[in-house]
Structure 1
Amino acid sequence: MKNLYLPITVDHIARVEGKGGVEIVVGDDGVKEVKLNIIEGPRFFEAITLGKKLDEALAVYPRICSFCSAAHKLTAVEAAEKAIGFTPRDEIQALREVLYIGDMIESHALHLYLLVLPDYMGYSNPLRMVNEYRKEINTALELKNLGSWMMDELGSRAIHQENAVMGGFGKLPDKATLEAMKRKLKEALPKTEYTFDLFAKLEQYEEVEGPVTHLAVKPRRDVYGIYGDVIKASDGNEFPGEDYREHIKEFMVEHSFAKHSHYHGKPFMTGAISRLVNNAGTLYGKARELYEGHKDLLGATNPFANNLAQALELVYFTERAIDLIDEALARWPVKPRDEVALKDGFGVSTTEAPRGILVYALEVRDGKLNYADIITPTAFNLAMMEEHVRMMAEKHYSDDPERLKFLAEMVVRAYDPCISCSVHVARL
């Protein structure tokens, strides 16, 4: 029958955070339309914090997500400090980055082992893998628990951290706890290297090979990391993070409660692979060695490389956290917090959350929040993610529909989306 358009639908993408689906419309002559239907209900975190006292607003933001609550809290705190003209001491910044790395370790371990690996091992969920892949599941839980414990010690709790405040921390763990954290990180290094070796053997589907523009935060001090004030693109362009609105445009699409984003009029990608594409030259240690030996698997043209990039970052950030703890211990005892004076101002923080660039723009007036704009990695990624699902569909639309659904979900999972984070609305 000619011109018969049939939808292939995934109502709920499994093993991702939040509620989203895929709709692929196929006709007799190919793929007609691909939609990532983000149907998580709108959330109003920017709007509900307007008019609140600044510290009260900062306590709300980590509630945006339990997967990356430390990322939200620390990025918001830095934006607020920039707005009021405060710069934290180096040792405070080092310990904040250790807290952020705890988030990175926990999130990457959960994504790789419990969300991605079942696809490759032929299981519908990780619980079914326990008997045959007990080592992998134990490794996932050990790394996850390490990251969670780091956030608990430095952030006062594993999720929705309250201990990171303007001026520093409410309190700091004692020296013995930081030394124990360093020991545990050293013990975890072989597990991170095992993770990299495991994911280096997994397929990266050639169906989605193609040019991709990657954006990442340019790290401070020219050391691969999380914090930076400049956004770097793989097309050679760089711009101050505070100018993000001049280069990245958000726009509404009918099928999604989350906006899509374009960089200079085109979809783009952000995340672990984007950090490597732009900043691999700032790696050091074992991670640098692994990167040099696997460049062919960590290129810019395939979203599935994001999985291996996260595995490489597990190695790197474990080593980096050890060095940052040493940096803080060299100045011990560390005063937890400096007093801050609230002033009117506007500040933008751009950091690297587990899933990519996270932007917070905050304006403070009379000690209260007057303006807030938050853009999350998933909101940045959705347009490119949809394009990669289209590429996969164009290669497999005539296959068994169940096979196409499976491959489409795999593409989405490679991005490690955090759907709930992506659906904010700034105005009621």
Structure 2
Amino acid sequence: MTEQATRRIEVPVLARVEGEGGLDVTIRDGRIEHLALRIFEPPRLFEQFLVGHAYGEIPELVARICGICPVAYQMSGIGAVERLFDLDPNWDPDRAPAPWVRRMRRLFYCGEWIQSHALHIHLLAAPDFLGFDSAMAMAGAYGEELRRGLALQAFGNRIIELFGARSVHPVGARVGGFWRAPSAQDVAAVAAEAERALPAAEALLRWTAALPLPVTEPPQAFDCVSLRHPTEYPMMAERIVAESGLDISVDDFEAHFTEHQVPHSTALHGLLAGAPYLVGPLARVNLNHDRLHPRVQALLTEIGVAFPSHDVAQSVIARAVEILQAVLEAAEILADYSPETPAHAEAAPRAGIARGASEAPRGLLWHRYDLDAHGMIQHARIVPPTSQNQARIEADLAHTLTAIGLDADAERLRRAGEQVIRNYDPCISCATHFLRLTLHQ
């Protein structure tokens, strides 16, 4: 074997992603011999930290898993516990203050989608598509667009602060609802911001649809997975669906989805029926475009963007779609706000297995808690979206690099590989919460 027949593409540390990871590709005789999205961030063992704590502490503890999507962790955990305790503000319209809690939780979640998607589009993804190494380098030519994006991110954070007292690791959510209802005066101030955010969100969708996105031929084949709600675009729901026809309760997640450890990652890899699958904004839009707000659907028709799509680069457009969806919903909820007292319903603990899921900005986030009769956690399992997407990212990398040509310039392959990874907006710190350890003696 000659030296020229073997090439190695290496990215020791990925830039513009949350957490610590790298990429290794070995090409031998014109074929990919080895490809690994290396995640080497130390596992933080959050599931074990939860054991021995009471159910009421779940929102406070799981919010610390991620500084970007704490609301998702809180809502998945709270929803799981409420389903077990038969305390279901999301779904029981007869139990006060169920309708109010359900709407306010949706508003809370809108804030997280807006701030997370705005951050990714403008600071992480757009520089790739426009040929810049960073958002700072991009600012000279696209200053107005960056200012618009940062203003949308700030608006999302303001919504989170309304209910969480702060936008990072918020503390306002609890089992049964919220610790307090925001004042009408505070809500009115954010409602005024929502009206200003609407034209910005519409302009952002137009802008992302016009970005020079890469085109990879042939198109990729993959299975999309997301929650599905009977009437709403899904943020919190009780059913999981897939393009392949899967339609199950969140209780049945473990019967269909598996996780396994790979040597090059401190995060688990998720599979559905033994194959990689996609979660996140593109999967959600693909499976739920009929649930989008009429104004969002009308704008997509006007600008000529159609879903479903298996062009993974269009994930950036899907994020802009969800920003506009969230801004529209937030504006409607804020405009019709009145405080509720109390802002929560009381819970009576029971023993059993609590399961729940919500749609984090990066995709499906599933929780399981085994509780005793006093509501104390005996076992916990959390399946974050980035670990579910890892196998799909590696499949996308192999497809994209092969389509470019494995004999292409190494720098071009490296940049393409980084762009593929960033396009999924991986949250590596979320994914590295658990590590299976097997000792051989």
Shift of 1:328: 4.5
Selected match of 1:218 from 228, 231, 237: 228
- Point out the more displaced range, 335-344 or 32-41: 335-344
Q: What is residue 75 of structure 1 aligned with on the other side?
A: 76
For 1:295 and 1:413, locate their aligned partners in 2 and report how far apart those are by CA, in whole Å.
25
Q: What is residue 298 of structure 2 aligned with on the other side?
A: 289
TM-score, normalised with respect to structure 2: 0.92
The count of aligned residue pairs is: 425
Pair 1:236–1:339, CA change in 2 (3 A): same
For 1:55 and 1:191, locate their aligned partners in 2 and report how far apart those are by CA, in whole Å.
38
Selected match of 1:356 from 350, 363, 380: 363
For 1:292 and 1:236, locate their aligned partners in 2 and report how far apart those are by CA, in whole Å.
26
Q: What is residue 148 of structure 2 aligned with on the other side?
A: 139
Shift of 1:156: 1.2
User: Given the alignment of the two structures, is residue 163 of structure 1 paired with residue 172 of structure 2, yes or no?
Assistant: yes
Pair 1:380–1:293, CA change in 2 (3 A): farther
Q: What is residue 368 of structure 1 aligned with on the other side?
A: 376
Tell whether the 8 Å contact from 2:59 to 2:73 is kept in structure 1 after alignment. no
Q: What is residue 65 of structure 2 aligned with on the other side?
A: 64
Pair 1:403–1:426, CA change in 2 (3 A): closer
User: Given the alignment of the two structures, is residue 341 of structure 1 paired with residue 351 of structure 2, yes or no?
Assistant: no
For 2:102 and 2:249, locate their aligned partners in 1 and report how far apart those are by CA, in whole Å.
20
Tell whether the 8 Å contact from 2:243 to 2:287 is kept in structure 1 after alignment. yes
Shift of 1:298: 3.9
Which amino acid is 1:37 matched to? Answer: R
Selected match of 1:185 from 186, 194, 213: 194
Tell whether the 8 Å contact from 1:110 to 1:140 is kept in structure 2 after alignment. yes
Within a 5 Å distance, the mapping from 1:167-246 to structure 2 comes to 167-207=176-216, 209-219=219-229, 221-246=230-255
User: Secondary structure of the residue that 1:250 maps to in structure 2?
Assistant: strand
For 1:327 and 1:342, locate their aligned partners in 2 and report how far apart those are by CA, in whole Å.
33
Shift of 1:213: 0.6
Q: What is residue 412 of structure 1 aligned with on the other side?
A: 421
For 1:426 and 1:7, locate their aligned partners in 2 and report how far apart those are by CA, in whole Å.
28
Which amino acid is 1:373 matched to? Answer: R
Percentage of matched positions with identical amino acids: 28
Could you say what the CA RMSD is over the residues aligned between the two structures, in angstroms? 1.8
Q: Which stretches in structure 2 are left out of the alignment for 5+ residues?
A: 90-97
Which amino acid is 1:59 matched to? Answer: E
User: Secondary structure of the residue that 1:144 maps to in structure 2?
Assistant: helix
TM-score, normalised with respect to structure 1: 0.95
Shift of 1:250: 0.6
Shift of 1:345: 2.5
For 2:33 and 2:343, locate their aligned partners in 1 and report how far apart those are by CA, in whole Å.
57
Selected match of 1:129 from 138, 149, 157: 138
For 2:305 and 2:243, locate their aligned partners in 1 and report how far apart those are by CA, in whole Å.
17
For 1:185 and 1:327, locate their aligned partners in 2 and report how far apart those are by CA, in whole Å.
13
For 2:107 and 2:350, locate their aligned partners in 1 and report how far apart those are by CA, in whole Å.
28
Q: Which stretches in structure 1 are left out of the alignment for 5+ residues?
A: none
Tell whether the 8 Å contact from 1:70 to 1:161 is kept in structure 2 after alignment. yes
- Point out the more displaced range, 1-10 or 276-285: 1-10
Tell whether the 8 Å contact from 1:2 to 1:28 is kept in structure 2 after alignment. no
Selected match of 1:390 from 390, 393, 398: 398
User: Secondary structure of the residue that 1:37 maps to in structure 2?
Assistant: strand
Tell whether the 8 Å contact from 2:237 to 2:358 is kept in structure 1 after alignment. yes
Tell whether the 8 Å contact from 1:40 to 1:419 is kept in structure 2 after alignment. yes
Tell whether the 8 Å contact from 1:47 to 1:427 is kept in structure 2 after alignment. no
For 1:379 and 1:294, locate their aligned partners in 2 and report how far apart those are by CA, in whole Å.
34
User: Secondary structure of the residue that 1:373 maps to in structure 2?
Assistant: strand
Tell whether the 8 Å contact from 2:261 to 2:267 is kept in structure 1 after alignment. yes
Shift of 1:294: 5.5
For 2:336 and 2:249, locate their aligned partners in 1 and report how far apart those are by CA, in whole Å.
27
Which amino acid is 1:218 matched to? Answer: R
Within a 5 Å distance, the mapping from 1:111-122 to structure 2 comes to 111-122=120-131
Shift of 1:293: 4.2
Q: What is residue 87 of structure 2 aligned with on the other side?
A: 86
Tell whether the 8 Å contact from 1:83 to 1:362 is kept in structure 2 after alignment. no
Which amino acid is 1:341 matched to? Answer: A
Q: What is residue 7 of structure 1 aligned with on the other side?
A: 8
User: Secondary structure of the residue that 1:132 maps to in structure 2?
Assistant: helix
Selected match of 2:160 from 144, 151, 154: 151
Question: How far does the alpha carbon of each residue in 1:336-359 deviate from its partner, in whole angstroms, 9 at most, with x for none?
Answer: 122222222322111111001010
For 1:90 and 1:427, locate their aligned partners in 2 and report how far apart those are by CA, in whole Å.
41
For 1:427 and 1:152, locate their aligned partners in 2 and report how far apart those are by CA, in whole Å.
36
